Amino acid sequence: MKGPGPFIDIIAGARPNFMKIAPIIRAIKARRTAGGPLRYRLVHTGQHYDRSMSGDFFSQLEIPDPDVNLEVGSGTQAKQTAAIMTRYEKLLLDTRSDLCLVVGDVNSTMACAITAQKLGIPVAHVEGGIRSGDWAMPEEINRMVTDAITNYFFTTSEVANQNLRRSGISDERNNS
């Protein structure tokens, strides 16, 4: 994408992500209106892909249509994660971003964070540091992997901050 200022990929793949990205997009648009040179590309991975699972959320939350839909669909966690990584890597190789912003703890969050880091693109994680302690939950694995490779954290509580500290992450990387 052409133009001045940083270029951020905002990743959304599943229903919980849509509610979290809506205020982020509104804030970016407000900054642009105020003259700030901040650009974004909304990347929908297609992890939840039918109209009732994603499209309605976009219209209800007044989120613009995605700039890119990776259309990965369903499948086993490994197949879905691999498809997200492969398709997001192609997108980044075609048009590199300056930052990959991921939210929550779904497969899309982890897959895009890994892909961006392997290409040397910093990652910001909204809702970093959340832990359940239940490794049987796929989301817990996604949280831990994503946080292990994140550059910038945006947390929701002091408990999340403490979890990051216990993981060896310094307060300088936490933008709570």
Q: How far is residue 105's CA from residue 11's CA, in Å, rounded to a whole number?
A: 12
Strands 68-69 and 152-154: unpaired
- Structural domains in the chain (count): 1
* Model confidence band, residue 97 (pLDDT cutoffs 50, 70, 90): very high
Instruction: Please state the pTM of the whole predicted model.
Output: 0.91
CA distances from 22 to 2, 10, 106 (A): 23, 10, 17
Q: How far apart are CA 161 and CA 126, in angstroms?
A: 12
For 65-75, how does the pLDDT look when each residue is reduced to its tens digit (9 = 90+)? Answer: 899 999 998 89
pLDDT by residue (tens digit) across 7-62? Answer: 999 999 988 888 999 999 999 888 776 666 789 999 999 987 665 555 677 788 88
**CATH number for position 139:** 3.40.50.2000
SS3 125: strand
Q: Which residues, listed in sequence order, are joined to residue 123 by a DSSP beta bridge?
A: 100
Query: Looking at residue 33, what is its pLDDT?
Result: 67
For the chain, give the percent of residues with pLDDT over 70: 89
Domain boundaries, position 132: 7-173
Q: Assess if residue 62 is contained within a domain.
A: yes
Q: Cα dihedral angle (86, 90, 95, 96), rounded to 10 degrees?
A: 50
pLDDT at 4: 61
Domain assignment of residue 96, yes or no = yes
